């Protein structure tokens, strides 16, 4: 039986999943937690044991939020922020994670049946075939060229074409990545894998484009919880063509994408990466 108050949020790393949590937390009677789990703790569990453990975690977080106003979540200064990476380092040009806490404070009033989102990009993407049987599941995607440009601007596993939490739960993905000739090949294979997971396991309505979030100033998220987005929400601007992205790399990645046949073309036309 699907629990419509406990909701799974996943998405491609650097697609805007943390921004989505930040915006969801602005909606009444809604809490969205950023990567509150340690995927390694679930590594040896069967599918049924995994769901039982996740159910227990959901309920423990509900109790903690209602009784203590505290929840497990990555954050900055005890709050969910809209981005978890810094500005480019002056020496390396790379951006690093700026998370400084593993718990957040919940200040708003909530009913005892509030909507609770758990967000994990790689981990939940790999477990979607199991998760979708018990929970409402949503995934955030983004223009594939912008994803690749972002991956190459940060210090994360995806920078080298890896996603450990996904590979640990999908041996086939791990094997395919190990066979690739270089980092860029791995990134393209990994990127396609994420889109394929959503195309296979989720309806179109359950896949949310970063671009739609930006253009609607978050209002497109209303459909998930059936509540109005606050009217005083800030104006959002797209970072798809971020000025920090290397222009030569952009040309190279665009050409590689155009020659590829990845699952990202199920959601984006090739013309979408001409920017």
> What is the DSSP code string of 69-99?
SEEEEEEBTTB--S--B-SPPTTT--B-B--
Q: Which pLDDT belongs to residue 1?
A: 65
Q: Give phi and psi for 76, each to the nearest 5.
A: -130, 120
Summarised one tens digit per residue, pLDDT across range 189-223 is 999 999 999 999 999 999 999 999 999 999 999 99
Q: What is the mean pLDDT of the chain?
A: 93
Pairing of strands 101-105, 135-141: unpaired
Half-sphere exposure of 256 (CA within 13 A, CB side): 20
Burial (CB count <10 Å: 0-12, 13-18, 19+), residue 96: middle
Neighbours of 59 (CB within 10 A): 12
> What is the extent of the structural domain holding 40?
3-273
- Examine the pLDDT at 273 and tell me if it is beyond 90: yes
pTM, 2 dp = 0.94
Q: Is the dihedral of CA 264, 272, 147, 179 positive or negative?
A: positive
Half-sphere exposure of 30 (CA within 13 A, CB side): 23
Q: Which pLDDT belongs to residue 82?
A: 81
Summarised one tens digit per residue, pLDDT across range 9-43 is 999 999 999 999 999 999 999 999 999 999 999 99
- Kindly state the tokens that stand for 101: 């806490």
Half-sphere exposure of 89 (CA within 13 A, CB side): 11
CATH number at residue 108: 3.40.50
Summarised one tens digit per residue, pLDDT across range 89-130 is 555 556 566 666 799 999 999 999 999 999 999 999 999 999
φ/ψ bin of 19: left (φ > 0), alpha (ψ from -120 to 50), beta (otherwise): alpha
H or E segment at 53? helix 47-68
Domain count, the chain: 1
Hey, what's the torsion of the CAs at 149, 154, 156, 159, to 10 degrees?
Answer: 40
Closest by alpha carbon to 81, among 99, 95, 65, 108?
A: 99
């Amino acid at each position: 039986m699907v629990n419509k108050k406990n909701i799974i949020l996943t998405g491609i790393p650097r697609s805007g999943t943390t921004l989505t949590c930040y915006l969801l937390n602005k909606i009444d009677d809604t809490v969205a937690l950023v990567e509150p789990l340690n995927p390694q703790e679930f590594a040896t569990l069967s599918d049924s044991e995994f769901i039982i453990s996740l159910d227990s975690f959901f309920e423990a977080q509900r109790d903690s939020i209602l009784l203590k106003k505290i929840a497990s979540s990555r954050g900055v200064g005890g709050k969910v922020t809209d981005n978890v990476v810094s500005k480019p380092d002056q020496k390396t040009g790379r951006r690093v994670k700026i998370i400084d806490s593993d718990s957040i404070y919940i200040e708003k009033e909530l009913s005892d049946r509030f909507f609770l989102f758990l967000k994990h990009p790689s981990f939940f993407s790999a477990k979607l075939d199991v998760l979708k049987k018990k929970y409402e599941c949503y995934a955030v995607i983004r223009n594939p060229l912008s994803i690749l440009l972002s991956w190459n601007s940060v210090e994360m596993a995806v920078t080298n074409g890896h996603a450990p939490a996904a590979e640990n739960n999908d041996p086939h993905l791990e094997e395919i990545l190990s066979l690739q000739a270089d980092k860029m090949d791995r990134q393209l294979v990994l990127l396609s894998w994420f889109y394929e997971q959503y195309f296979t396991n989720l309806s179109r309505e359950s896949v949310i484009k970063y671009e739609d979030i930006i253009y609607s100033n978050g209002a497109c998220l209303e459909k998930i919880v059936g509540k109005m987005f606050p009217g005083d929400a800030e104006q959002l601007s797209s970072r798809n063509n971020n000025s920090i992205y290397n222009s030569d790399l952009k040309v190279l990645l665009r050409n590689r994408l155009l020659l590829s046949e990845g699952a990202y073309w199920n959601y984006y036309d090739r013309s979408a990466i001409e920017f």
